[in-house]
Amino acid sequence: MKKFTLIFSLMLAMFTTAMAQESVDFSTGTFDGQWGDKETLSMWTDTNGLQIVSTDANGNEVGSMKYYNNKFTLYINENVATPIKYTITVPEGYSLTEMKLKNSTKSHNAHIDYDLRSYSLYNTTAEQTIKFVEGENAFYLYGQVGRTIYLTSLTITKTGEETGIGEVKSENGEFKAIYDLTGRQINEITKAGIYIVNGKKVLVK
């Protein structure tokens, strides 16, 4: 019975994690800032204050974003040398979680650089998922001028809420020593993963 209670508590904690994340609705935002080619603008802001700004290599705003045909489009501007830098600012109390991008067509030679990693968008229209790192809120788009990339989703997380597995107690209220995510108590940690140690989530790399 105690083991069942522990597993149920773990499942409930993971459900709470999912509820703390929010997907950004691009259709509710407005565009402003510097004009660019193809009727694009350099600044997008949603109703909650989340903002995306596009700049050139010198930090000058360049028009490279639009929302067209139900798609949030990143446009490689013909008047500036690539890369184009996109900086995302979230409202107070939120942090960036992940974003997904895809090539508009397979033939567009483009890639995204983020946090010292490069994500190729060439020869595929499959979504490329990028997980955000704390403190890194800008990414760079390289590619052929006049081409477009779609930002298909952006997820943010409300800080201060449960973002992982929280404290787990047994029926009598006492903390157990070490548990894995199956609810099995173990004597020691021997490999990477997420564990519950004295009621706290621990990530072992």
In angstroms, the CA 151 to CA 64 distance is 12
Which is it for the CA torsion 91, 112, 25, 45, positive or negative?
positive
pLDDT-derived band of residue 6, with 50, 70 and 90 as boundaries?
very low
Sequence ranges of the domains in the chain: 2-19+162-204, 21-158
Which of these, 72, 82, 68, 64, lies nearest to 141 by C-alpha position?
82
CATH (residue range 21-158):
2.60.120
* 114-166 pLDDT per residue, tens: 999 999 999 999 999 999 999 899 999 999 898 999 999 999 998 864 444 44
| Residues in the chain, overall count | 205
Return the pLDDT at 197. Answer: 82
With CA atoms as reference, report the closest residue to 99 among 33, 17, 47, 157.
157
At 116 the pLDDT is 93
If one compares 4 and 54, the residue with the highest pLDDT of the two is 54
Residue type at position 129: T
